[in-house]
Amino acid sequence: MVDDEPHIRRVLRGYLEADGFAVAEAGDGEAALAALRGDPPDLVLLDVMLPGIDGLEVLRLLRGFSDTYVILVTAKAEEVDKLVGLGVGADDYVTKPFSPREVTARVKAVLRRGRAERAGEDTVLRFDTLSVDLAGREVAVNGTPVALSSLEFDLLAALADAPGRVYSRAQLLERVWGYDFYGDERVVDVHIRSLRARLGDDAGDPHLIATVRGVGYKFVGQRS
């Protein structure tokens, strides 16, 4: 974790360690590069606005000797910044202010995709009308790209990866949100409704995501 703000490092470290991650810290780009050359981690949370060498330059230099996963963290939300960041080799992008729980969920999602790729698994799930590119995080319906939020994508990927399996709301919260959720589980229903709307799936006559009354949801799309 590379960030020049100690309180952000402290908060994120608490959440990440609670989820079982071992965390090392650096407060600037020089210290980060020295640590990364010595013992590259599985994933780097990298702030863009760093003193001295900024995060994008750290990432560019890192890509010269390591392909470790990188999630950029920045206060800049403009699309041009996002494109520049991903263009130099970032795997994901989080903007401040953020929820620490969202960050831990993103970390889990990136590592989960990485394990699938290393195992040589097919990272594109194909169904009659839908394709889900797990590695590229792209979705298309009848060949037309569909823009999803990061959370909506992770929710769809979790369901589509196991067609026919029924997930309770609690299971989806744990798998997609990636933390112990102490709020109203109906937040899942809100995101399912949004996801269905984006995919053009009729809740009354679903072709992709079905409600299992009293339990949760399951993916009903047919593999192609």
Express as a percent the part of the chain with pLDDT over 70: 87
- pLDDT, residue 20, reads 86
- pLDDT, residue 77, reads 61
Let me know whether 22 and 95 are in one domain.
yes
93: in domain: yes
Q: Are 221 and 128 in contact (CB under 8 A)?
A: yes
49: in domain: yes
- pLDDT, residue 161, reads 85
Strand residues in 67-112 grouped as ranges (E): 69-74, 92-95
Let me know whether 80 and 173 are in one domain.
no
Local structure of residue 52 (DSSP, 8 states): S
pLDDT of 94 above 90: no
Over residues 104-133, mean pLDDT: 76
Let me know whether 174 and 111 are in one domain.
no
C-alpha neighbours within 13 Å on the C-beta side of residue 170? 4
Express as a percent the part of the chain with pLDDT over 90: 43
Is pLDDT larger for residue 44 or for residue 172? Answer: 44
Residue 45 sits in a domain of what CATH number?
3.40.50.2300
Last residue of a domain, one of 118, 141, 157: 118
Q: Are 104 and 73 in contact (CB under 8 A)?
A: no
Let me know whether 90 and 14 are in one domain.
yes
Which residue range forms the structural domain that includes residue 164? 124-219
Let me know whether 27 and 128 are in one domain.
no
In whole angstroms, give the CA distance from residue 174 to residue 5.
29
Over residues 98-110, mean pLDDT: 84
Let me know whether 12 and 93 are in one domain.
yes
Over residues 85-108, mean pLDDT: 79
pLDDT of 82 above 70: no
- pLDDT, residue 113, reads 65
135: confidence class by pLDDT, cuts 50, 70, 90: confident
pLDDT of 88 above 80: no
C-alpha neighbours within 13 Å on the C-beta side of residue 71? 21
Residue recorded with tokens 């290393």: 118
pLDDT of 115 above 80: no
Cβ burial of 23 (10 Å; 0-12, 13-18, 19+) is middle
224: in domain: no
In whole angstroms, give the CA distance from residue 21 to residue 17.
5
1: in domain: no
Over residues 1-10, mean pLDDT: 94
Let me know whether 86 and 130 are in one domain.
no
72: in domain: yes
Residue recorded with tokens 């020295």: 34
Q: How many domains are there within the chain?
A: 2
